[in-house]
Amino acid sequence: MSQSISTAQVIDEAGRRRTFAVISHPDAGKSTLTEALALHARAINSAGAVHGKGDRRGVTSDWMELERERGISVTSAALQFGYRERVMNLVDTPGHADFSEDTYRVLSAVDCAIMLVDAAKGLEEQTRKLFAVCRHRGVPVITFINKWDRRGRESLALLDDIQNVLGITPVPQVWPVGPAGNFRGIVQASDTEHMVRYTKEPGGTRVALEEVLDSAQAAEQEGDLWQEALEELELALDSGPGYDQEAFENGKITPVFFGAALTNIGVKLLLDAVVELAPAPGPRPLDGGGSREVTEDFSGVVFKIQANMDPAHRDRIAFVRVCSGVFERGMNVTRAASGRSFATKYASTVFGAERTVVDTAYPGDVVGLINASALRVGDTLYTGRKATFPPLPAFAPEYFAVARPKDISRSKQFRRGVSQLDEEGVVQVLVSDRRGDQAPVMAAVGPMQFDVVLHRMEHEFSSPITLDRLSYKLARVTDPDGQAELAKARLTDAEVLTRRSDDALLALFADKWHLSAFQRAKPDIRLDPLIATAD
């Protein structure tokens, strides 16, 4: 640690940080909420989302051309902004289920998550899976029930689902006045003598105007809706244990907010809650036991690698979550995996596609290391006492395709592009003796990952490719004995490939029945799942 920065200063700076992500099912409004939060913090002047995906402008965090074309987020990006004397690090996540693996990596880098729930659709499949990942990683969750300005389900029924489906107790911090589709305003659980009414801005591009009514005014102007809101809030609070910070941080309760991100209603209260409730960076568990305290020498974890964020420079950024100590640009850090050190000459904070050179960063901050070509996703960086954080497990792929260049004269660009996509974790790249390096197998969690591969190989690496789908659906980790047994069996519905990034051997099977048949025939052969998270 720099002699000019004291331990007390590190503690103070870490205490000012709030590092969080937004998780949701596709189309729940995640990117819209991301921009609404930045808008309320005055980090941007106008939100980039308008009604409908067809005419939607690209939001600040959606920089990739493919994202703008599809109107969804397929990568993660980091936004840093100040709010109420805090440094807010909002790490955006992919908005489609096919990119769950990228979202998992992001959740390894945050201290809190906002779970976005569609008022009409409730708890959808992807939301449930991502909540399970948060629970597995010990990430506390704040719930925001979105789109209350549209027709939807009853508020109490949504709370019941959170309790019964997720097994976590919802504790409302605000309550909507009026049912979904007739959103009249908000009453806070801590102040039931006032109602906040909102006036929408056209298109939701600016912060909605607020008007505070006392209980008498609310009763006069809203009639039964005001009284019903108070009664429902009282019922919801009486049925639970009430808010407790320790219970929140331990994942036993989730504070609940209602609003409409597109029109910026209720977003400020949510942002205030992140400041007041989300935990600051704390000790981080180490692989093999023990932890790294925030006051120790610098350490960080690489949770995302992305190339070509700036098409003019064709560079590559490794996103590093600072876990302890102080990061100073130009410092020499050690990569735990290799034991080699390198200088961090080019470092930036990132706001969407915009970059600002960073000289100093503290626990909770996200730093982009530019053109640090040796780094891989999951790497630990440190100075001083050696630190190695637990590795990020890979999701089990379910889609496989052989990649071949359309133009063999561009084989150099093909190899460079495949290597880059593998290092970034866009797909898992597998190779086999049967096909060789010139025809690697792309393994994906969802088929849209293949769309990203096709787009980037053509537009960024100037090597258009073909993807020939394979019939495999299951992957298991095996060893040389398993490889040999599968080769002896000469199964047409199974084969073993090497994962390029870590040399792991993956046995691929057509379906669960073929896998079960092989396991019955060879019960002693290693066939382990790829991931250690809950479903």
**3 state SS of 232:** helix
What's the average model confidence in pLDDT over 348-374?
A: 82
**pLDDT category, 65, cuts 50, 70, 90?**
low
Strands 505-509 and 494-499, how do they pair?
A: antiparallel
Q: Do 322 and 255 have their domain in common? A: no
Tokens of 118: 């569609």
Q: What is the mean pLDDT of the chain?
A: 85
Question: Does residue 215 lie within any of the structural domains?
Answer: no
Q: Which CATH number characterizes residue 114's domain? A: 3.40.50.300
Please give the pLDDT value at position 73.
Answer: 47
514 is in an annotated binding site: no
Please give the pLDDT value at position 24.
Answer: 87
Q: How many helices (H) and strands (E) does the chain have?
A: 14, 30
The yes-or-no verdict on residue 94 having pLDDT over 70 is no
**pLDDT category, 299, cuts 50, 70, 90?**
very high
pLDDT in tens, 205-261: 778 888 999 999 999 999 999 999 999 999 999 887 889 999 999 999 999 999 999
**pLDDT category, 39, cuts 50, 70, 90?**
confident
Asked which of 357, 382, 407 is the last residue of a domain, the reply is: 382
Q: What is 408-448 written as a DSSP string?
A: GGGHHHHHHHHHHHHHHTSSEEEE-TTT-TTSPEEEESSTH
**pLDDT category, 68, cuts 50, 70, 90?**
low
| Highest-scoring range by mean pLDDT, 73-82, 264-273, 455-464 | 264-273
295 is in an annotated binding site: no
528 DSSP assignment? B
Q: Do 158 and 254 have their domain in common? A: yes
Question: Does residue 511 lie within any of the structural domains?
Answer: yes
Distance, CA of 119 to CA of 105 (rounded, Å):
27
Asked which of 382, 409, 437 is the last residue of a domain, the reply is: 382
Q: Do 136 and 264 have their domain in common? A: yes
Q: Do 344 and 442 have their domain in common? A: no
Distance, CA of 256 to CA of 270 (rounded, Å):
9
**pLDDT category, 311, cuts 50, 70, 90?**
low
Tokens of 364: 């909770």
Q: Do 496 and 423 have their domain in common? A: yes
Question: Does residue 413 lie within any of the structural domains?
Answer: yes
Tokens of 13: 């700076």
Asked which of 332, 347, 382 is the last residue of a domain, the reply is: 382
Q: Do 422 and 378 have their domain in common? A: no
Please give the pLDDT value at position 468.
Answer: 94
Q: Do 408 and 324 have their domain in common? A: no
Q: Do 271 and 314 have their domain in common? A: no
The yes-or-no verdict on residue 290 having pLDDT over 90 is yes
Q: Do 453 and 494 have their domain in common? A: yes
Distance, CA of 405 to CA of 410 (rounded, Å):
7
Question: Does residue 193 lie within any of the structural domains?
Answer: no
What's the average model confidence in pLDDT over 501-527?
A: 89
The yes-or-no verdict on residue 278 having pLDDT over 70 is yes
Give 504's contacts (C-beta < 8 A, 6+ positions apart). Answer: 477, 498
The yes-or-no verdict on residue 469 having pLDDT over 90 is yes
422 is in an annotated binding site: no
Top-confidence residue, 484 or 26 = 484
State the residue for tokens 């790490």.
91
Question: Does residue 71 lie within any of the structural domains?
Answer: yes
| Percentage, residues of the chain above pLDDT 90 | 51
**pLDDT category, 45, cuts 50, 70, 90?**
low
Q: Do 31 and 148 have their domain in common? A: yes
Q: How many domains does the chain have?
A: 3
Q: Do 322 and 428 have their domain in common? A: no
CA angle, 401 then 407 then 410, to 5°: 100
The yes-or-no verdict on residue 335 having pLDDT over 80 is yes
Top-confidence residue, 436 or 261 = 261
Top-confidence residue, 73 or 379 = 379
Amino acid letter, 327: F
Question: Does residue 323 lie within any of the structural domains?
Answer: yes
**3 state SS of 269:** helix
How big is the chain by its Cα radius of gyration, in Å?
24
**pLDDT category, 297, cuts 50, 70, 90?**
very high
pLDDT in tens, 72-85: 444 446 788 889 99
**3 state SS of 249:** helix
With beta carbons less than 8 A apart as the criterion, state whether 53 and 242 touch: no
Top-confidence residue, 42 or 197 = 197
Name which of 374, 373, 377 is nearest 304 in CA terms. Answer: 377
What's the average model confidence in pLDDT over 335-352?
A: 84
Q: Three-class SS string for 97-157? A: HHHHHHHHHHHCCCCEEEEEEECCCECCHHHHHHHHHHHHHCCCEEEEEECCCCCCCCHHH
| Highest-scoring range by mean pLDDT, 133-137, 157-161, 394-398, 490-494 | 157-161
With beta carbons less than 8 A apart as the criterion, state whether 364 and 87 touch: yes
Distance, CA of 8 to CA of 2 (rounded, Å):
13
Tokens of 162: 């959170």
136 is in an annotated binding site: no
Q: Which CATH number characterizes residue 497's domain? A: 3.30.70.3280
With beta carbons less than 8 A apart as the criterion, state whether 458 and 413 touch: no
The yes-or-no verdict on residue 55 having pLDDT over 90 is no
Lowest model confidence (mean pLDDT) among 275-284, 347-356, 522-531: 347-356
Domain range enclosing 474: 399-521
459 is in an annotated binding site: no
**pLDDT category, 200, cuts 50, 70, 90?**
confident
Q: Do 141 and 245 have their domain in common? A: yes
Please give the pLDDT value at position 377.
Answer: 85
With beta carbons less than 8 A apart as the criterion, state whether 310 and 346 touch: no
Please give the pLDDT value at position 53.
Answer: 41
Top-confidence residue, 384 or 529 = 384
Question: Does residue 505 lie within any of the structural domains?
Answer: yes
Question: Does residue 192 lie within any of the structural domains?
Answer: no
Distance, CA of 132 to CA of 139 (rounded, Å):
10
